[in-house]
Structures are given as C-alpha cells and as structure tokens.
C-alpha cells in the first residue's frame, strides 16, 4: 500500500531512515497531521489489528479517505466514468523519437487538437483569471479542456454534491493536475492546481491501491479538526506520530506565529507522552537550535536529505537542482 496522492512534506522517502525509531508494539495509532499518510502505511502493515485515528485540518482530502472507507463502489464508479471520458480525449503532447548518429532522442511535441488553443481560450476569458471552460470544451474537446471544465464544475457545485461525489471529483483532479500537488485558491480554500502533463496511457489511478486503502481504513476513525482535538485518542499503548507543516514553510504565517504554532505542537507531544503514548515528531532544522533548545528530556536525531520540489529550472545538462535540508525527528523519552 502506498499513499493515495503526492503530498507536500510526504514522508514516504524517509520511512527507511525512521525505521529504527518506529515502535515494535502499539494498540492505537494516532496521526494528527495526516496529509498523504505515509507513516500510516507503515503502521497498518506493522499492526493491521490496531485502532487508527487519522486527522488533517484539510477537510477535502479527509473526505477522500472517508469515501474510500465507506462508499468504495460509488467512489470508483464516478472516478472510472471521469477516467474513461478523459482517456478518450487527445493529450496536449505526443512523444517523438528520432535516431541521430545511432543515438535515440525523445521529444514531447504539441499535438494538434490536444495542445492549448490560446486564441480560443482568450476569446472565452471571463473576469479575473477565469474562463468559460464549458464553451471551450464544447468547441475543442481535449484532456486539457476536460480537466479545466471538470475543475470548474467541482469548484462551483461541490457544496450541493454528496461527499462521495466531491471526493471522487477531487481525486480525479489530483491525479491529473500538475505534479499531483495540492494548491488551493486563497479566496475559497478550494483545490485550484492547474492541469498536469496529461501523458496517462490508459489509467489515471491505481485501483488496487485504492482497494487496499479501503481495507486499511476499516479500523480507522477519520477526523478533520485542529490537531489538538485528537489528544483524547492518545493513551498508554498508543503511537502518536506528529508531522506538522515544516517550520518556516507557512506561506501566510510570520515567524512569531509560526514559532508559536510549533511550540503548541511540542506541548501536544508532551501531553501525549504524559498519557503514556510513544511519540515521534518530524520537522525541519533551520540551524537555529529551535528544537534542540525545546527538546527537554526527548531525544533528537538529525537526517540530511535532498529534495526537489515543484517546477524547478533545468540546468544546462538537463538535471534539476536538489535542495539540501536537515530533517529532525524528536523521539519521546
Ligand atoms: C507535512 S504535512 C503531513 C504529511 C504527511 N505526514 C505525509 O506523509 O503525507 C502537514 C499536514 O498538516 C495539516 N495541518 C496544518 N495545520 C493543521 C492543524 N492545525 N491541525 C491539523 N492538521 C493541520 C496540513 O493540512 C498538512 O496536510
């Protein structure tokens, strides 16, 4: 089982590094900052009979987990229908392979009928940065125009739809949107990522993985609250894994607000520990001893990581710059 979608700060790549600090035994697993739930996939594989409490303040992604847990068939029916419509349409590019001096070279070139028609899109531009995607799709059906038409339909109607329909539409968009990342419109808080490369062959999602999540979530309580509300679920025998947004990573938090938030997370960690839970906390080290000076009796381990995020500029040789960072893991003791 792997996470259902890419998530900023997702911990899949760090699982091996965390391995020696993960607990042998636990009867309840509590994850208050769930996102894509990479550590949950470890916890479920380790002890499928445990009780799980998963929470994230983002209600839209928690609806995806709730729909997969409780309404799998309807979720897949809606998703499969969107997938079939999308796959039948032209993608924006096609792959052209040429052989020069015995060496194969591949290029992605604009595909007639699938690539953006700037003139047409300009013609149906509405106020602000919106477009009449229904009209544009009607004139020029393609994967790109279908994506934007579906995104508009979702943004305009989600409040009148069933939870399962909302979740399936959002999952479709997340699987076809740019880099699989979540980006929300500031004014509405709704998913607003642009379209991706749309190079899918015959499927946009891994159905087997979705079915595995359906099984894994059966023992899970799925919440969408502020992390502090999950304290009541921690007790002796619980494993609590805290993975808040990285320090320094909040777009709309100033340093003081950010540090206050991180301190609240550390006190939450202490409260869970006082209840007898085994606790881990991940974050990023900014080199100013913030966590070191607040670790109390807990142990702090440091990992050097490199990561690439978003649409980075290519170097001359075609590679992408990787950013070096130091991750920390605070271990309750
Ligand atoms: C670093 S991500 C977690 C990534 C996750 N561990 C994974 O592997 O995908 C942090 C998450 O915290 C959530 N979050 C932010 N503030 C929160 C709050 N006050 N309470 C609960 N969740 C919050 C965000 O929506 C985001 O999904």
pLDDT surpasses 90 at 70: yes
Q: Whose CA is nearest to atom 23 of ligand 1?
A: 57
Residue 78 sits at φ, ψ, to 5 deg, of: -65, -45
Q: What is the mean pLDDT of residues 194-198?
A: 95
Q: Is 56 in the pocket of ligand 1 (CB under 6 A)?
A: yes
Query: 310-324 burial, b for 16+ CB within 10 Å, e for fewer?
Result: eeeeeeeeeeeeeee
Q: Whose CA is nearest to atom 18 of ligand 1?
A: 226
Q: What does the DSSP assignment read for 301-319?
A: EEEEEEE--SSPPBPTTS-
Q: What is the pLDDT of residue 320?
A: 60
Task: Give CATH for domain 12-57+225-332.
Answer: 3.40.50.150
CA-to-CA dists, residue 180 to 6, 81, 89, 171, 172, angstroms: 6, 20, 20, 10, 10
pLDDT surpasses 50 at 69: yes
Q: What is the mean pLDDT of residues 1-23?
A: 92
Q: Whose CA is nearest to atom 12 of ligand 1?
A: 33
pLDDT tens track for 201-230: 999 999 999 999 999 999 999 999 999 999
How many of the other CB atoms lie within 10 Å of CB of 178?
15
**pTM score > 0.75 for this model?**
yes
Q: Is 243 in the pocket of ligand 1 (CB under 6 A)?
A: yes
In the chain, the largest separation of any two C-alpha atoms, in whole Å, equals 69
**Poorest-confidence range of 13-22, 153-162, 297-306, 311-320?**
311-320
Q: Is 38 in the pocket of ligand 1 (CB under 6 A)?
A: yes
Q: Whose CA is nearest to atom 25 of ligand 1?
A: 58
pLDDT tens track for 51-62: 999 999 999 999
Q: What is the pLDDT of residue 100?
A: 87
Q: Whose CA is nearest to atom 19 of ligand 1?
A: 226
The three-class DSSP label of residue 157 is helix
Q: What is the mean pLDDT of residues 144-173?
A: 98
Please tell me the distance from the alpha carbon of residue 12 to that of residue 200, in angstroms, as a whole number: 23
Q: At what angle do helices 72-87 and 59-70 cross, to 10 degrees?
A: 110
Q: What is the mean pLDDT of residues 35-45?
A: 96
pLDDT surpasses 90 at 9: no
Point out the ligand 1 atom lying closest to the alpha carbon of residue 35. Answer: 27
Residue 226 C-alpha to ligand 1 middle, in angstroms? 10
Model confidence band, residue 316 (pLDDT cutoffs 50, 70, 90): low
Model confidence band, residue 317 (pLDDT cutoffs 50, 70, 90): low
* Cβ atoms of 204 and 172 closer than 8 Å: yes
Q: What is the pLDDT of residue 310?
A: 47
Q: Is 196 in the pocket of ligand 1 (CB under 6 A)?
A: no
pLDDT tens track for 97-113: 999 888 999 999 999 99
Residue 10 C-alpha to ligand 1 middle, in angstroms? 9
Q: What is the mean pLDDT of residues 29-56?
A: 97
Q: What is the pLDDT of residue 309?
A: 52
Place of tokens 């805290």: 242
Residue 273 C-alpha to ligand 1 middle, in angstroms? 20
Q: At what angle do helices 207-216 and 38-46 cross, to 10 degrees?
A: 60
pLDDT tens track for 73-105: 999 999 999 999 999 999 999 999 999 888 999
Please tell me the distance from the alpha carbon of residue 112 to that of residue 119, in angstroms, as a whole number: 14
Domain ranges of the chain: 12-57+225-332, 69-176
Point out the ligand 1 atom lying closest to the alpha carbon of residue 228. Answer: 20
238-242 and 278-285 strand pairing: parallel
């Amino acid at each position: 089982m792997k996470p259902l979608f890419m998530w900023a700060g997702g911990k899949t790549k760090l699982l091996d590094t965390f391995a020696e600090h993960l607990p042998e035994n636990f009867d309840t697993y509590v994850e208050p900052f769930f996102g894509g739930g990479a550590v949950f996939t470890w916890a479920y594989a380790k002890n499928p009979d445990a009780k799980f409490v998963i929470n994230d303040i983002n209600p839209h992604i928690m609806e995806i987990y709730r729909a997969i847990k409780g309404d799998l068939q309807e979720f897949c029916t809606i998703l499969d229908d969107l997938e079939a419509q999308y796959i039948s349409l032209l993608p924006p590019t096609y792959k052209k392979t040429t052989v020069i001096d015995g060496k194969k070279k591949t290029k992605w070139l604009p595909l007639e009928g699938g690539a953006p028609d700037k003139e047409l899109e300009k013609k149906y531009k509405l106020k602000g940065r919106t477009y009449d995607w229904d009209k544009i799709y009607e004139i020029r059906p393609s994967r790109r125009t279908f994506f934007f038409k579906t995104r508009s339909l979702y943004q305009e109607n989600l409040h009148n739809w069933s939870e399962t329909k909302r979740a399936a539409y959002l999952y479709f968009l997340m699987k076809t949107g740019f880099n699989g990342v979540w980006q929300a419109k500031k004014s509405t808080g709704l998913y607003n990522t642009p379209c991706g490369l749309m190079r899918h062959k015959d499927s946009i999602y891994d159905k087997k993985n979705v079915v595995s999540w359906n099984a894994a979530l059966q023992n899970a309580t799925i919440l969408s609250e502020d992390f502090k509300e999950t304290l009541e679920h921690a007790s002796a025998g619980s494993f609590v894994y805290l993975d808040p947004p990285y320090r320094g990573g909040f777009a709309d938090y100033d340093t003081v607000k950010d540090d206050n938030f991180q301190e609240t997370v550390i006190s939450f960690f202490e409260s869970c520990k006082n209840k007898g839970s085994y606790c881990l906390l991940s974050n990023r080290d900014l080199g100013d001893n913030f966590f070191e000076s607040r670790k109390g009796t807990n142990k702090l381990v440091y990992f050097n990581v490199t990561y690439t995020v978003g649409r980075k500029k290519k170097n001359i040789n075609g590679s992408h710059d990787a950013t070096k960072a130091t991750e920390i893991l605070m271990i309750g003791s």
